[in-house]
Amino acid sequence: MVIDLKKCSGCMTCVAACKLGNAVPPGIYFTKVFDYEVGEYPNVRRRYLPVLCFHCEDPPCREVCPTGATYKRDDGIVLVDYSKCIGCRYCMMACPYDARAFYDRERMYYYDGGLMEYEKVGYEKYQVGTVMKCTFCAERIDEGLKKGLKPGVDPDATPLCVISCICDARVFGDLDDPNSEVNKLIKSRNAYRIHPELGTGPSVYYLPP
């Protein structure tokens, strides 16, 4: 994924789309948008930094997982097998990007009246007492591929945060394809990654504002 910081308006549409589309429980966010100020008065500007799981090439969260619950797919997406997760939270401590959250029973409902209809469907895939994080909407990608769709090109095979962005600040695609849009942007706009010195090899790149 490539995120263009010059385009991001901080509207939080990506956050809302992710919460709704993935039925993410209260208090947990798969993607966040931080805001900060640059410059000095009176020349001050507000900027925004969207973050999510960076699906690292060498994910430290996988290395510390004692049960193998955290794993990396052949396409590079890093996921959590909830049936194997024991909630030890070693992965949360190992992740240098603070991209994971622990799902406890206290965060189960948004409203006192119980689960909403979309929560009843979405919560079935989560287990209390496990660690959760962004999946790059792997289910959408897999379903799209079955239909012959191309991730990053066809909306039904692309992460929700990407297709919901009203500013087109997020671009998704195949890093192994030199002709993909993500590769073209990385090469043409001096893209950078957060904390590359850690050697994790994040798969999320940023275009400077």
CATH number, domain with residue 193: 3.30.70.20
Residues 85, 130 contacting (CB under 8 angstroms)? yes
Min mean pLDDT across 95-109, 146-160, 189-203 is at: 95-109
What confidence score (pLDDT) does residue 108 get?
Answer: 62
Q: Looking at residues 12-26, what average pLDDT do you find? A: 92
Q: Looking at residues 62-84, what average pLDDT do you find? A: 97
Rounded distance between C-alpha atoms, residue 153 and residue 173, angstroms:
8
Residue 47 has pLDDT above 60, yes or no: yes
What confidence score (pLDDT) does residue 125 get?
Answer: 83
Report the percentage of the chain scoring pLDDT > 90: 83
Residue 107 has pLDDT above 60, yes or no: no
Range of the domain at 130: 2-207
Question: pTM for the complete prediction?
Answer: 0.91
Residue 162 has pLDDT above 70, yes or no: yes
Give tens-digit pLDDT for 110-138.
777 777 777 777 777 888 899 999 999 99
Residues 136, 55 contacting (CB under 8 angstroms)? yes
Residues 205, 3 contacting (CB under 8 angstroms)? yes
What confidence score (pLDDT) does residue 149 get?
Answer: 97
Categorize the per-residue pLDDT at 195 as very low, low, confident or very high, splitting at 50, 70 and 90: very high
Q: Which residue has the higher pLDDT, 19 or 106?
A: 19
Residues near 99 by beta carbon (within 8 Å), at least 6 away in sequence: 51, 52, 53, 54, 133, 134
Task: Look at the chain and report how many structural domains it folds into.
Answer: 1
Q: Looking at residues 169-188, what average pLDDT do you find? A: 94
Q: How does the average pLDDT of the chain come out, rounded?
A: 93
Categorize the per-residue pLDDT at 106 as very low, low, confident or very high, splitting at 50, 70 and 90: low
Q: What is the DSSP string of the chain?
A: -EEETTT-----HHHHHHHHHTTPPTT--SEEEEEEEEEETTEEEEEEEEEE----SS-HHHHH-SSS-EEE-TTS-EEE-TTT-----HHHHH-TT--EEEE-GGGS-SSTT---HHHHHHGGG--TTEEEE--TTHHHHHHHHHTT--TTTSGGGS-HHHHH-TT--EE---TT-TTSHHHHHHHHTT-B-SSGGGS---S-EEE--
User: CA separation (Å) from 32 to 50, 60, 129, 208, 209?
Assistant: 6, 21, 22, 18, 18
Q: Report which listed range, 101-105, 113-117, 123-127, 188-192, is most confident.
A: 188-192
